[in-house]
Structure 1
Amino acid sequence: MASMIKALCVALIAAVLVMAVVPRPAEAALGCGTVISYLSPCLSYVTDQGPLGDCCGGVKGLYGAAKTTPDRQSACNCLKSLASSYKRVNLSKAAGLPKQCGVNIPYKISPSTDCSKVK
């Protein structure tokens, strides 16, 4: 179960970086559990075990939920910490999720993303 959560978090890097809306000052309300729940449908896709399926609904839902800069940065940091320790994720697929789901972001999606620069 923990390895599945780690894989999902890598996929979430893409979705977290999708959060390129105008920031407003606030505390992060979006926790790691929430991020994982949005992107759980993406797990089989990013681990080469299934089709894209309902993943885009989760990506778009997360995009809509992460309304503030602290939310987006919090989600990014959650994903980075989990992604670095799980090797089964196809990083190319994870990085391609925004495009696959019709969401445009101005960031390169990578486990090495500097989350402090996510706005």
Structure 2
Amino acid sequence: MAGTLAKLSCVLVMCMVVAEAAMTCNQIQGGMAPCLGYLTKGGTPTTGCCTNLRNMVNSATSTVDRQNACKCLKAAAAKFQTINPDNAAKLPSYCNVNIPYKISTNTNCDSVK
């Protein structure tokens, strides 16, 4: 169950997040596991959540990498409904991470640059 929720949280968060091409979907999703509590219940994201989010954003190497990460996470999020979309949208702001597009399952990953 926790792995499933982690995948969902990653989808919502990581639709806006980038990752290295060498990272697998499982690695991307696992990296966002510390955000799960915040994404489902609100409150304040953990330091580990924000650190992992920042690291993933900073690891972007190309448009293709960002689009693939978005697609991977979006697909995982589609399987779960426990993530609060408002919490996901606010995560970059809480973590002081600049993500130039809206965190949402409705994001068109092909438009991510």
TM-score of the two chains, using structure 2 as the length reference: 0.82
Partner of 1:34: 27
* Range with greater deviation from structure 2 (57-66 or 47-56): 47-56
The answer for the alignment partner of 1:12 in structure 2 is 13
Which region of structure 1 is more displaced relative to structure 2, 88-97 or 32-41?
A: 32-41
**TM-superposed deviation, 1:105:** 2.6
Displacement of 1:39: 1.0
Structure 2 gaps of 5+ residues are: none
**Partners of 2:17 and 2:70 within 8 A in 1:** no
Q: Which residue of 2 aligns with 1:23?
A: none
C-alpha contact 1:10 1:91 (8 A) present in aligned 2: no
- Deviating beyond 4 angstroms after TM superposition, the runs of 4 or more aligned structure 1 residues are none
The count of residues paired between Structure 1 and Structure 2 equals 110
- Which structure 1 segments of 5+ residues have no match? 20-26
Task: Verify the 8 A CA contact 1:30 1:71 in the aligned structure 2.
Answer: no
The letter for the 1-side match of 2:53 is V
Question: RMSD across aligned C-alpha pairs, in angstroms?
Answer: 2.1
Displacement, 1:115?
A: 0.5
Looking at CA atoms only, which structure, 1 or 2, has the larger radius of gyration?
Answer: 1
Distance of 1:35 and 1:66 partners within structure 2: 12
What corresponds to 2:84 in structure 1?
90
